[in-house]
A and B are shown apart, each in its own frame.
Chain A
Amino acid sequence: MTLNTRVILICSGKGGVGKTTLTANLGISLARKGSPTAVLDADFGLRNLDLLLGLENRIVYTAQEVLEESCRLDQALVKHKQEPNLSLLPAGNPRMLDWLKPEDMVKIVDMLSQQFEYVLIDCPAGVEDGFRNAVAASKEAIIVTNPEVSAVRDADRVIGLLNTHGVKPVQLVLNRVRPKMMESQEMLSIEDVTDILALPLLGLVLEDEQVIVSTNRGEPLTLIGSQSPAARCYSNIAGRLQGEEIPLIDPAKEGSGLREKFRRLMQTKIF
């Protein structure tokens, strides 16, 4: 069986901008919409996709054993219990970084492409070997960034590298959007970022405390059908990836309700 598999690299340059959280939520979302999806943890140095998906205790084998041919691919894949359309291929030992080659990543992704419609690759931060290995195996990419100067600068660098490697299309997800700060122009606006990076916007994700709560539990927001702001954003992004036409959330209309105003008032530091 050959599927027209979409192999999507989720990368950012800078660390801590939300790649792994996006990979987990997007994986669950796509799986829930009926697409067999694999998420591949390519962040061998600092793996935690397993943790965000709540699968850390179910790992037996990893990408490492698959490459060493000491186990079959399906032995290493961890199928999500509540969302069986989603499987995780865990990252191996950090020492894999010493010998892993771009060809190895290509090999793994080719194997995954035999049985999944979507392969999402959680990319390590930086632009060194780990990034290059992951790029070699990717067809398209999602750049995750935050509306902050350092994150945007690093994203720009990564976009340049993706262009030279012929990865296409490259789309943008703007994470940790704070409507209030954008409104008062204390945060780069959505147009600022899309203009500067000259990328099509796949979606934005609002800053949301529930992201942290769901991380604590190992249950991505999209898994539990949450209606929290970030959850809606993640499932919109999944829909757009699948070609649905879903309008962008307007940050100006977010959190202007009375309850939200009260919450903000309570958050106001006086001293």
Chain B
Amino acid sequence: MTLRDILNKLLGRQPASAAKARERLQLVLAHDRTDLSPDLLDQMREEILKVVAKYVEIDLEGGAVSLETEDRMTALVANLPIKRTLSGEIKIKEQSTQETITSVAEEASE
């Protein structure tokens, strides 16, 4: 360390660099670990919602699909509130929606 470094520190000109290193590492690692671009994640989210919507009625507004990293484990977390019927049962879509299902599948495979 040079004299100037000492002076800088005494005068509080530069914050210690370890905090900066930590912050930069956390950002770059979150990216390294998932290896998924935001665009790809968006696309995946849309397709997942479509697939789930084939079977149950979900609240599209309240739904969220995201990647979470903790302790080296990256998890795809989908939070999809399912609309219930009055009797409290999960509302299952009727089979008459065959048309929509195929069109959804087509779209998804594009």
A184 to B19, CA, bound (A): 11
Interface size on B, residues (CB 8 A): 19
A186, B18: Cβ atoms closer than 8 Å: yes
A153 to B22, CA, bound (A): 11
Task: Please provide the chain A residues from 151 to 199 with a CB less than 8 Å away from any CB of chain B in the complex.
Answer: 152-153, 156-157, 159-160, 163, 182, 184-189, 192, 196-198
**B11 CB-CB contact with A under 8 Å:** no
Residues of B within 8 A of A198 (CB): 71-72
A57 to B20, CA, bound (A): 47
Residues of A within 8 A of B25 (CB): 149, 152-153, 188, 196
Knowing A153-B32, A156-B29, A160-B33 are in contact, say whether A192-B72 is a contact too (CB < 8 A). Answer: no
Residues of A within 8 A of B71 (CB): 198
What 0/1 pattern do residues 21 to 35 of B give for CB contact below 8 A with A?
A: 110111011001100
Chain B contact residues, majority secondary structure = helix
Q: Which of B17, B22, B28, B29 is in CB contact (< 8 Å) with A186?
A: B17
A268 to B6, CA, bound (A): 10
Residues of B within 8 A of A186 (CB): 16-18
Residues of A within 8 A of B33 (CB): 156, 160
Residues of A within 8 A of B109 (CB): none
Interface size on A, residues (CB 8 A): 24
A196, B17: Cβ atoms closer than 8 Å: no
- Nearest B residue (CB) for A157: B32
**B40 CB-CB contact with A under 8 Å:** no
- Nearest A residue (CB) for B19: A185
B2, A270: Cβ atoms closer than 8 Å: yes
**A269 CB-CB contact with B under 8 Å:** yes
Chain A contacts to B: CB under 8 angstroms: 148-149, 152-153, 156-157, 159-160, 163, 182, 184-189, 192, 196-198, 268-271
Q: What would 21 A/B residue contacts be, using CB atoms closer than 8 Å?
A: A149-B21, A149-B24, A152-B25, A153-B25, A153-B28, A153-B29, A153-B32, A159-B72, A160-B33, A160-B72, A182-B18, A186-B16, A187-B18, A188-B22, A192-B18, A192-B21, A196-B22, A196-B29, A197-B72, A268-B2, A268-B3
Given contacts A160-B33, A163-B72, 19 further A-B pairs with CB under 8 A are A149-B21, A153-B32, A156-B29, A156-B33, A184-B9, A185-B16, A185-B19, A186-B16, A186-B17, A186-B18, A187-B18, A188-B21, A192-B18, A192-B22, A196-B25, A197-B72, A268-B1, A269-B2, A271-B2
